[in-house]
Amino acid sequence: MSNKRMIAHARIALSAALLAVCAASSAAEKERPDFTGVWTTYREPGQTGFGGGFGRGQAQLPFTAEGQRRRDDYQKLLGPERANPAAYCVDYGMPTMMESAGGYPIELIQKPDQLTIIYEVEGEMRRVYIGERQLAPADRLPSRHGYSKGHWDGDVLVVETTDLLDGVDQSQHPHSDQATIVERFSLGTDAKGAKVISYEMALTDPIYYTEPVKTARKWAPLDGFIIPYRCVDEFWLALLDLRRAQLKAGKPADARMSDVYKAREAKE
Amino acid sequence: MKKLAVCGAALAALWASAAAAHHSAAPFDFQQRVTIEGVVKEFNVQNPHTYAVVTISDAKGTRDVEYEGHSASNFYRAGYRRDTVKPGDKIAILIAPRHDGGDGGFINAFTVNGKTVGFGGLSPSTGKPVADGASGDAAPPASK
């Protein structure tokens, strides 16, 4: 066989293999909803302002006495300026990140074994591991986003989040490190046929609540992009500016990050 | 400084919810809107909050006043671009004034060089709600 013919045969074989793989992969994807995309808070026709869980207070939450005490103690720390994590470029954490704090868009990237969720603010990210491959419970480092394990209940992606750090600073649903969050994501359409993600969240925490706290919301596709948002960068750049000013004044460039904070707080 | 009569209940409720979670809320009265006019001295569109210094003149005299605003990504989503505002530009800003009545406020919308950028609030030129289309896309007005 000539070289040209061998190459042609190889191309045909490779193409057939690729087609088979792509077809199989496509068939597998069709079985599950695909949440991939950039989403914004869904608003019912005629609804203005914020949808979803935004804007609700904590007054109606079924706090235990201990939960109420912890919540009240935290409120005493906030001061007249009503300090909050985001003002200091700290990630919102769970569940605030999913409650569209500030009303920013959210991006979902879905693979068969992982749903990656990125909130515009700080590019805050969480990963939901779907299927058999999971980190052993003993190996999980507690974090503000916890460890999220997903499985399919028909066409609904069910996500259980555990291994959370204490969340006393969560804006609407504070919780302890004993909390478990169960979310249900499903994909549908509204009356106009546009895609909608329906989302339910149940927060269980024996320390904070006498019963599970449940919320629901929807997201609509956003015809736009996630825009870069890196608040913490500003502090580093401000430190460089302070040191430039020192050098210009003939002084050693030894400003500290505490000086950046002082300068910022002086403006508040 | 001229006050616009704007206390729409819906708007107030919207802003109360938007502002409640953020550190900028405390000093500002989001149930009021005031238009200020002046000359830009500094306009730093940054996160978590934009910081601007505008030289204004009124019965109290001429002075530099600091204003706070939305995050950089909200500015871009609302139509602001890197060359929209320069030092020396004349600017009209619709602000939520300070509770204490002092100088300063939170930027709700502004007009500079014939371009208006609004954050789902009121146009400083008309005092009326900025149309959805004018705020860049379908994202809800956001504060941080």
> Which is more confidently placed, A213 or B136?
A213
For residue B104, what are the CA distances in angstroms to A168, B54, B115?
A: 32, 9, 22
Q: Is the pLDDT of residue B128 over 60?
A: no
CATH superfamily of B2-135: Nucleic acid-binding proteins (2.40.50.140)
Q: For residue B57, which phi and psi values (nearest 5 degrees)?
A: -130, 130
Q: Which residues does A48 contact at the CB level (< 8 Å), separation at least 6?
A: B10, B14
Distance from CA of B124 to the nearest CA of A (A): 20
- How far apart are the C-alpha atoms of A124 and B65, rounded to whole Å? 33
A104/B142 touch (CB, cutoff 8 Å), yes or no:
yes
Based on the domain organization, do A192 and A78 belong to the same domain? yes
> Which is more confidently placed, A228 or B11?
A228
Strand partners, A161: A148, A181
> Is residue A54 within 8 Å of residue A45, measured between CB atoms?
no
Closest CA to A214 of A256, A255, A181, A258: A181
> Is residue B94 within 8 Å of residue B134, measured between CB atoms?
no
Based on the domain organization, do A76 and A137 belong to the same domain? yes
Per-residue confidence of chain A (268 residues) as pLDDT tens digits? 555 665 666 666 656 555 555 455 555 555 799 999 999 999 877 665 443 443 445 668 999 999 999 999 999 999 887 888 888 889 999 999 999 777 899 999 999 999 999 999 999 999 999 999 999 999 999 999 999 999 999 999 999 999 999 999 999 999 999 999 999 999 999 988 999 999 999 999 999 999 999 999 999 999 999 999 988 888 899 999 999 999 999 999 999 999 998 987 776 6
Q: How many helices (H) and strands (E) does chain A have?
A: 4, 9
> Is residue A74 within 8 Å of residue A169, measured between CB atoms?
yes
Q: Which of residues 87-116 of A touch B (CB under 8 A)?
A: 87, 89, 101-105
Residue range B92-120, pLDDT digits in tens: 999 999 999 999 999 999 999 999 998 86
- Burial-class residue A220 by CB neighbours within 10 Å (0-12, 13-18, 19+): middle
Strand partners, B70: none
- How far apart are the C-alpha atoms of B78 and B10, rounded to whole Å? 20
What does pTM read for this prediction?
Answer: 0.77
How many domains is chain A built from?
2
A87/B46 touch (CB, cutoff 8 Å), yes or no:
no
> Which is more confidently placed, B48 or B39?
B39
A87/B22 touch (CB, cutoff 8 Å), yes or no:
yes
Residue that has been written with the tokens 């605030």 in this structure: A96
Residue range B15-36, pLDDT digits in tens: 333 333 344 467 888 889 999 9
The verdict on residue A162 lying in a domain is yes
* Side-chain-facing half-sphere of A41: CA atoms under 13 Å: 24
A86/B144 touch (CB, cutoff 8 Å), yes or no:
yes
DSSP letter for each residue of chain B: -EE-----HHHHHHHHHHHHTSTTTTTB-TT--EEEEEEEEEEE--SS-EEEEEEEEETTEEEEEEEEE--HHHHHHTT--TTS--TT-EEEEEEEEBTT--S-EEEEEEEETTEEEESSSB-TTTSSBPPGGGGSSSPPP---
Q: Identify from B30, B68, B71, B82 which residue to disrupt to test chain A contact, counting A C-beta atoms within 10 A and taking the largest count.
A: B71
Based on the domain organization, do A202 and A241 belong to the same domain? no
A119 φ/ψ sector (left φ>0, alpha ψ -120 to 50, else beta):
beta
Name the 3-class secondary structure at A101.
helix
- How far apart are the C-alpha atoms of A53 and A164, rounded to whole Å? 21
Select from A80, A103, A230 the Cβ nearest to the Cβ of B139: A103
Q: What is the pLDDT of residue B137?
A: 27
From chain B, pick out residues whose CB is under 8 angstroms from the CB of A87.
22-24, 48
The verdict on residue A5 lying in a domain is no
Give the pair of three-digit tokens for residue B66. 């600091």
Based on the domain organization, do A166 and A72 belong to the same domain? yes
Q: For residue B112, which phi and psi values (nearest 5 degrees)?
A: -145, 135
A224/B72 touch (CB, cutoff 8 Å), yes or no:
no
Based on the domain organization, do A239 and A143 belong to the same domain? no
Closest CA to A35 of A221, A170, A171, A215: A221
From chain A, pick out residues whose CB is under 8 angstroms from the CB of B20.
55
Based on the domain organization, do A151 and A182 belong to the same domain? yes
Residue range B43-78, pLDDT digits in tens: 999 988 899 999 999 999 999 999 999 999 999 999
Peptide bond before residue A95 is cis, with ω within 30 degrees of 0: yes
DSSP state at residue A86: G
Q: What is the pLDDT of residue B18?
A: 34
Q: What is the pLDDT of residue A121?
A: 92
For the four alpha carbons of A267, B1, B7 and B10, in that order, the dihedral sign comes to negative
For residue B12, what are the CA distances in angstroms to A81, A224, B96, B135?
A: 20, 27, 11, 18
- How far apart are the C-alpha atoms of A103 and B78, rounded to whole Å? 13
- In three state form, how does the secondary structure of A46-78 look? CCCCCCCCCCCCCCCCCECHHHHHHHHHHHCCC
Q: Which domain holds residue A140?
A: 37-221
Based on the domain organization, do A215 and A154 belong to the same domain? yes
Q: What is the pLDDT of residue A162?
A: 98
Based on the domain organization, do A213 and A243 belong to the same domain? no
CB-based burial, A117-152: b 16+ in 10 Å, e otherwise:
bbbbbbebebebbbeeeeeeeeeeeeebbbbbbbee
Q: What is the pLDDT of residue A48?
A: 53
Q: Is the pLDDT of residue B85 over 70?
A: yes
A171 and B CB contact within 8 Å: yes
Q: What is the pLDDT of residue B121?
A: 54
Q: What is the pLDDT of residue B84?
A: 96
The verdict on residue A188 lying in a domain is yes
Based on the domain organization, do A133 and A254 belong to the same domain? no
Based on the domain organization, do A57 and A150 belong to the same domain? yes
Closest CA to A118 of A85, A86, A92, A149: A92
> Is residue B131 within 8 Å of residue B138, measured between CB atoms?
no
A137 and B CB contact within 8 Å: no
Can you tell me the mean pLDDT for B80-96? 96
